[in-house]
A and B are shown apart, each in its own frame.
Chain A
Amino acid sequence: MAPSTSSALTLKVNGEKHTLSVDHRTTLLDALRERLDLTGTKKGCDQGQCGACTVLIDGRRAVSCLQLAVAAEGREITTIEGVADGDRLHPVQQAFLDLDGFQCGYCTPGQICSALGVIEEHAAGWPSAATTDIRPEAGVPELTAEEIRERMSGNLCRCGAYVSIVQAVARAARAEEETV
């Protein structure tokens, strides 16, 4: 008997469980876009170089094009469609909208998911290549423009919206701090 080339699995996306049968070659990105009709997650390069397909997996940002769908079973996946609270935009989304942190909008879902990760990682004290003092006792580094640029560099934007993206992430991070 030929080996099976597909499997049934359950993906938990934005808090909702979806049971489906997928080709083993299917990436998480294609499962989201072509099987679950969650097309907010974008395909820019399909090889982990542009960040357009960034989602959160168990709260950590990941490029969904380099993840097979079958390997994502049992994980908590958050896509751009799960970021807002109903009709109320998340502060990161609101800041991107208000400060025009995008132009064509194609990299935007990945940028926003990545920004959510950046704000969490920074709050947890993770250093970046732009952090000048990485000693544990130095505490949480200030989230400067330099830090944001470095931490957001996995997400390419060809329209050249970086200047506004940095401002949007800074504004959203401040909003988060104020609500804590």
Chain B
Amino acid sequence: MTTTTGPAAVTGAVGSAHTRVEGVAKVTGAARYAAEVPFANLAHGWLVLSTVARGRIRSVEAEPVRRMPGVLDVLYYGNAPRVDAAYEGMMGRPDPTVAVFQTDEIPCAGWPVALIVAETSEQAREAAESLVVHYDKEPHDVDFFPGRPGSYTPDGDGMRVEKGDVEAELAASTHVVDAEYSTPEEHHNAMEPHAATARWDGGRLEVIDSNQGSTWIADELAKLFSLDPASVRVRSEHVGGAFGAKGLRVHQVLAVMAATVLDRPVRVVMTRRQVFSLVGYRSPTAQRVRLGAEPDGRLRAVDHEGLNLTSTVHEFVESSASFGRPMYAADAHRSVNRVVRLNVPTPTYMRAPGEAPGSFALESALDELAEKCGMDPIALRVRNEPEVGPVSGLPFGSRNLTACFEEGARRFGWAERDPRPGVRRDGRWLLGTGVASATFPVIVAPSTASATAEPDGTFTVRITASDIGTGARTALTLVAADALEVEPGRIRVHIADSDFGPATIAGGSMGTRSWGWAVRDAAIELREQLALGGDIPAQGLTVRSDTGAAIGALAQKERHSYGAQFAEAAVDVGTGEVRVRRMLGIYAAGRIINPLTARSQLVGGMTWGLSMALHEEAVRDQITGAHVGADLAGYHFAANADVPHIEADWVDDPDPDDPIGIKGIGEIGIVGAAAAIANAVWHATGVRHRHLPIRPDRVIQAGSPRA
């Protein structure tokens, strides 16, 4: 199947608002998530995590627990089946954390040490809480701070990029900003905690999971357990949020281990507290940005260094310093990502990994530069618009950042803004407005799909996509409708079953673009076959697609989505309270398939940005090496009352190299949003806040406006 070009067949489904195809199931409670699919003879697994932050397990006192009512088994390093984590998966080498119970070593607090399996969840939980584990403790180190000794620049693409002579350009600049920024450890906290049920059925391993890609998880489980890939089936029909955290994690591995040992279905569900140490998180960052500019704001130098942490067992880099590389023209660019290994769990991808914290630092620094140059912050950004990729020299696919600012400025009322900080008051509140740019790479990965014409005149599309709340299932229905030239109501889209064939993940904002391409290819070829006439056989007429060759043939370009973030903040410097009064985001993010769900995605991302700016912060206790308050009371993310009316909209920006014009919208909403709010807080108070979250104590300590 190679029909990837040519005019789009349009019936008007793409681009018009549709409620979610699974929406009724979700508002009536009928949609079943991973822990809700019934199994006969189900056993329940409950995890036990380490209470020390470094050391060795001296003993696991399993015997007394085995005698407790209902307990079926206690799995730990002394008896767990052997697995092999020395493999390359879809996302590279796995975090060896997935090779659970293979060693007595404890590299961090909250490390899995045992799984209790029992007839009921109450029995499993009580046994887990009764299990005594003896440790030989060793000193741990979880202390993260700027300039941290032991940090290094990792090998690998994009860790360090240099163009021109940054030091010389800074020395020659009229205006220089040199500032340090930090962002805290942040956690995904999808509302649905990770859950998986595994069973062996006729020589096949079946897993009901909550994940971002069932091909990915099936492939990893096959490799980890040395199984024939065809013997592993993973399904994940409904996913209660993911945000980067729902890959291969210990719950799937343990469910498989326990189902294998006990020869019965086993379900493992993480508790909310366990999620804080078992599924990854966003590393804290310590960043330094130096900008040098001419009097007219033209950039001579952009220098960005970002430090983050990783575990002692796996290297994950939150590439915050990479954000500016495709953004602004400058004579010299230097960006370096550094990392330090500590006794903590391994961080992972979290909504806009790199871009979210990186944009906070660089887009705040640009606001500081605008102040020094006496320029409007939007004008400063427009002045530094590049013709080609500032570092790569590659042409842009499409770049409509300026159009986003123009439309946003008009709708936000930016022209009436008084640039002076600390001069607007509404009762006890000081008011200010701020802007920032957003960008996120446009990514696509090979996928396969099938489209079937049924004898009753309906169509069935199958693809191992994952709808983690993005609306992908609905978007793919609309794509198929246009390609088949039929009403969406005649199409059923089945997703998230690894038996449907390989497809990429819901991540990197590439899901709908990658899957949409494959669905469109299959649907167009099916329509062409149907046009030849003839009866449809009883089993239907099925066409398969594979986008691998077409995607492999794409020319190298700077492909990105863009956005302009606007925020208004109200600050009470007496109590330290910051309230965001309104936000507006205008995006150039490719063709929008479903305006209803796309708006939700973008507003959701902006809500994350607000939450990042003002609320989210996981605190690690230096003494225990564990979190303080690892739950939803101790870790506050934005609640309803924290969030004002937020508007998101877009400019026309179809991607020229995508057959549908899609770019991807899952992540760009968070990018730059925290900077826009921090810049608004400066405009309100005259005080720069370079460390997130902008907590009341930080506002109070920063003092009154200088005006």
Contacts and interface: CB of A to CB of B under 8 A. Distances in A.
A94 B188 CA distance: 29
Interface in B239-273: 239-243, 269, 271-272
Given A33-B36, A104-B191, A46 B29 contact: no
Given A159-B469, A160-B607, A93 B643 contact: no
Contact of A41 (B29, B596, B604, B646): B29
Interface in B180-197: 188-193
Contact of B640 (A23, A26, A33, A162): A162
Given A79-B29, A103-B471, A160 B631 contact: no
Contact of B638 (A160, A164, A166): A160
B603 A160 contact: yes
Contacts of B192: 42, 44, 104, 106
Contacts of A103: 241, 469-471, 597, 600-601, 604
Given A102-B27, A160-B606, A162-B607, A23 B632 contact: no
Contacts of B239: 104
Chain A binding site: helix, strand, loop or mixed by DSSP?
loop
Interface stretch (B120-128, B340-348, B533-541, B688-696): B120-128
A158 interface: yes
A2 to B, nearest CB: 10
A46 B271 contact: yes
A1 to B, nearest CB: 15
Interface stretch (B16-24, B281-289, B321-329, B416-424): B16-24
B610 to A, nearest CB: 8
B643 A160 contact: yes
A165 B641 CA distance: 12
Contact of A43 (B193, B468, B597): B193
B632 A50 contact: yes
Contacts of A108: 26-27
A39 interface: yes
Name, among A37, A108, A145, the residue most crowded by chain B CB atoms within 10 Å (CB to CB).
Answer: A108
B639 interface: yes
Contacts of B27: 80, 89, 93-94, 96-97, 102, 105, 108-109, 112
Interface in B214-242: 238-242
Interface residue range, chain A: 35 or more
B707 interface: no
Contact of B645 (A44, A98, A145, A165): A145
A80 B36 CA distance: 15
Contacts of A83: 28
Looking at A38, A97, A163, the one whose CB has the most chain B CB atoms below 10 A away is A163
Nearest to A155: B640
A126 B605 CA distance: 33
B240 A104 contact: yes
B486 interface: no
B240 A80 contact: no
Contact of A97 (B19, B30, B125, B470): B19
A52 to B, nearest CB: 6
B639 A156 contact: yes
Nearest to B601: A103
A23 B271 contact: no
Nearest to B242: A104
A40 B640 contact: no
A158 B191 CA distance: 6
Nearest to A113: B29
A105 B240 contact: yes
Of the candidates B23, B188, B606, the one having the most CB atoms from chain A within 10 angstroms of its own CB is B23
Contacts of B490: none
B702 interface: no
A158 B243 contact: yes
Given A30-B122, A49-B631, A89-B28, 19 more contacts: A39-B36, A40-B29, A42-B191, A42-B240, A43-B193, A45-B272, A46-B272, A50-B191, A81-B29, A97-B19, A102-B469, A103-B597, A104-B190, A109-B29, A149-B641, A153-B639, A158-B243, A159-B241, A160-B604
7 contacts: A80-B29, A100-B20, A104-B469, A158-B189, A159-B469, A160-B603, A160-B606
A-B interface, 10 closest residue pairs, ranked by CB to CB distance from nearest: A40-B29, A106-B240, A160-B607, A104-B469, A105-B26, A160-B604, A80-B29, A103-B469, A39-B36, A49-B632
Interface of B: 19-20, 22-24, 26-33, 35-36, 38, 120-123, 125-126, 188-193, 238-243, 269, 271-272, 468-471, 596-597, 599-601, 603-608, 611, 631-633, 637-641, 643, 645-646
Interface of A: 23, 25-26, 30, 33-34, 37-47, 49-50, 52, 79-81, 83-84, 89, 93-94, 96-98, 100, 102-109, 112, 130, 145, 148-150, 152-153, 155-166
